[in-house]
Amino acid sequence: MKIQLNKCKAFLLDIFFPNRCPFCDDFIRWDKLICNNCRESLIPANDKICRICGQEKCCCHDNKFNYDAVLASFFYNDKNVSKAVYSFKHQGIINIAEYTAYDASVHIKNENITVPDMIVPVPMGIRKQRSRGHNQAELLGQCIGKELDIPVRNDLLYKKDTKDEQHIHTAVERIKRVKGLFYCENEDLSGKSVLLCDDVMTTGATLNECAGLLKSMGAEKVIAVVCAAARLDNSQEKGA
């Protein structure tokens, strides 16, 4: 019933605010998430990255990660993807998040990944969230929550407010600086599988730090889901 109502709402909304492809801005049918052109031309990152480390060039041999799997729909370096992430981050336009939620649910099902018990979005500092008006990771979490019908918990992880902007640092500096930026509630997550989500993954430092806190709370498994993963060779400055 709820799904029918949501579809009805989407159809009616489309009359006044026609649905657009998040990547090329072309008009698309009210019940589509992406246009055919972009579906064929954008590289599906999920088919290219290592499922464990989330990097295109697997680095699992040299590193150990706190997360157990990474799902990423696209590559951030694609111009139309970075544009869609920008609109999502700064204007709260959630089309790319809706696509990522759908895409992640398909991969979870097809790859027999355990459906997580809860979704935990990467938190934003309170001051920053107030000035931006939303946390894009939370918006993505809500989209995935609807798709998989699991709860979103934004009361488990917190981020300290800091003047440091992640994107001004190099990859190595960023990995160091992310340490201690987050803290967690004293809740027992023993035996739970958690889906940790964020808009973009660059080095994976933020996801690794947050996954470490979830593991310290007892989480058995942490699956990271992002809209886009950066190809590290030529994009080191946009996320974490």
Encoded tokens for 15 = 């009359």
Nearer to Zn ion, 74 or 89 (CB): 74
Minimum Å gap between C-beta 220 and Zn ion is 20
**49 versus 181: smaller Cβ distance to Zn ion:** 49
- Which residues share a beta bridge with 197? 121, 225
User: In whole angstroms, how close is the CB of 180 to Zn ion at the nearest point?
Assistant: 26
55: left (phi over 0), alpha (psi -120 to 50) or beta: beta
Question: Min. distance of Cβ 25 from Zn ion in angstroms?
Answer: 7
CA–CA distance, 198 with 156 (Å, rounded to integer): 15
Residues with Cβ within 8 Å of residue 99, at least 6 apart in sequence: 22, 33, 34, 73, 227
Provide the minimum distance between the beta carbon of 208 and Zn ion in the complex, in angstroms, as a whole number.
Answer: 13
Residues that bind Zn ion (CB under 5 A): 21, 23-24, 35, 38, 50, 52-53, 58, 60
Q: Are 210 and 157 in contact (CB under 8 A)?
A: yes
Q: Take residue 57 and report the two structure tokens written for it.
A: 């060039």
Cβ distance to Zn ion smaller for residue 19 or 135: 19
Q: Which is nearer to Zn ion, 62 or 165 (CB)?
A: 62
Q: How far is the CB of 88 from Zn ion (least distance, A)?
A: 15
Q: Are 159 and 129 in contact (CB under 8 A)?
A: no
Indicate the residue among 26 and 161 with the shorter CB distance to Zn ion: 26
